[in-house]
Structure 1
């Protein structure tokens, strides 16, 4: 069986935000799936998705510091600057981290590890709402 939902997340500040609960709540059919996959796709080019540590907010802040250091806003070599100093760096960060996740589903639940959570990685200072397409398949 296949199910698909679109989830719109409200605008968030730049940073790495846990959105696991919002995603799970947006897919009521999880309970029907014994074994399957959830594909999560973000419909934007300046935000991304990843899975990592869900307990310590220090990890999320360290992710942000690392990426801001590796791809700084306003680097003079960037040509694409019409949308602001943070736009091209946001595109690069989004490409490095990626626009999608494919996650296992087992016994009606995401089969994440004990300390794993899904992050929305917001790379813009003034972001808009972000849309995720959630596609669940399984038996």
Structure 2
């Protein structure tokens, strides 16, 4: 078994920006030179997260944000904001619910994603940032 680590940088707009990072993760797997194994993608930070979905405008630009708005409304009352005098309590709650990491098997050097399944990063914070995703690739 071998372990390789790759880092991906992603520029975001914040405010529920959904970004398809499938190609970047696939390139990381390709660069590692391993044929079969698993890649774990980990978002560094507490106001963003990773998952899979069908990346299309209805989901990416509306439905995901609408769902999280019901669960953790942006205009809700968050003790975090009172503590730190900021405006992103909902961002932390949303990211905690989504989670920071995702594992995807790869076979013959290719991610085993479904036809309509992409890896997405969601930046819940209230401002633009550069996000880091660590890809830990284990295989042979």
Give TM-score scaled by structure 1 length. 0.88
Partner of residue 70, structure 1: 71
Question: What is the SS of the residue equivalent to 1:129?
Answer: strand
Question: What is the SS of the residue equivalent to 1:90?
Answer: helix
Question: What is the SS of the residue equivalent to 1:114?
Answer: coil
Partner of residue 58, structure 1: 58
Does the 8 A contact of 1:35 with 1:107 survive in 2? yes
Give TM-score scaled by structure 2 length. 0.87
Q: Counterparts of 2:98 and 2:85 in 1: how far apart (Å)?
A: 21
Partner of residue 26, structure 2: 24
Q: Counterparts of 2:118 and 2:51 in 1: how far apart (Å)?
A: 8
Partner of residue 119, structure 1: 120
Count of matched residue positions in the alignment of Structure 1 and Structure 2 = 135
Greater Cα shift, 101-110 or 57-66: 57-66
| 1:49 and 2:45 are equivalent in the alignment | no
Measure how far apart 1:13 and its partner are. 3.5
How large is the Cα RMSD of the aligned pairs? 1.6
Q: Counterparts of 1:74 and 1:120 in 2: how far apart (Å)?
A: 23
Instruction: Give the helix-richer structure, 1 or 2.
Output: 2
Q: Counterparts of 1:83 and 1:17 in 2: how far apart (Å)?
A: 28
Greater Cα shift, 13-22 or 124-133: 13-22
Q: Counterparts of 2:10 and 2:68 in 1: how far apart (Å)?
A: 22
Measure how far apart 1:5 and its partner are. 1.1
- Structure 2: stretches of 5+ with no match in the other structure: none
- Structure 1: stretches of 5+ with no match in the other structure: none
